Amino acid sequence: MFKSGFIGIIGRPNVGKSTFFNAVIGDKISIVADKPQTTRNKITGIKNFPDAQLIFLDTPGMHNPKTPLNRAMVQTARETIGDAEVLLMMIEANSDVHHNDILLIESLAEIKVPVFLVINKIDLVEKKYLLPLMDKFRILYDYREIFPVSALKGYGIADLLTAIKEILPEGPQLFPEDIFTDATERFIAAEFIREQIMMLTSQEIPYVSAVMIDSFKEDEEKNLIRINATINVEKESQKAIMIGKKGAMLKNIGTQSRLNMEKLFGAKVYLELFVRVKKEWTSSDKMLQEFGLLKH
Q: Are 78 and 126 within one domain? A: yes
From 140, 167, 194, give the residue that closes a domain: 167
What is the CATH number for 70? 3.40.50.300
pLDDT band at 41 (very low <50, low <70, confident <90, very high): confident
Q: Are 189 and 163 within one domain? A: no
Q: What is the pLDDT of residue 14?
A: 87
Helix axes 99-107, 130-140, angle to 10 degrees: 40
Q: What is the pLDDT of residue 53?
A: 97
pLDDT band at 293 (very low <50, low <70, confident <90, very high): confident
Average pLDDT of the residues in 34-57: 87
What is the CATH number for 225? 3.30.300.20
Q: Are 197 and 147 within one domain? A: no
Q: Are 91 and 199 within one domain? A: no
pLDDT in tens, 127-186: 899 999 999 999 999 999 999 999 999 999 999 999 999 999 999 999 998 889 988 999
Q: Are 156 and 105 within one domain? A: yes
Q: What is the pLDDT of residue 40?
A: 67
Cβ neighbours around 279 below 10 Å, total: 11
CA distances from 185 to 90, 153, 217, 291 (A): 28, 27, 11, 16
Domain contains 30: yes
The single-letter DSSP state of residue 61 is: P
From 134, 167, 200, give the residue that closes a domain: 167
Instruction: Report how many domains make up the chain.
Output: 2
Q: Are 51 and 121 within one domain? A: yes
Going by C-alpha positions, the residue among 53, 55, 28, 31 that lies closest to residue 41 is 31
Q: Are 261 and 216 within one domain? A: yes
pLDDT in tens, 171-185: 999 999 888 998 899
What's the mean per-residue pLDDT of the chain? 92
From 167, 195, 219, give the residue that closes a domain: 167
Structural domain boundaries enclosing 277 = 185-290
Distance between CA atoms of residues 190 and 257, nearest Å: 9
Helix (H) or strand (E) holding 212, with range, is: strand 210-219
Q: Are 284 and 151 within one domain? A: no
Strand-pair category, 52-58 with 224-233:
unpaired
Q: What is the pLDDT of residue 28?
A: 83
Domain contains 174: no
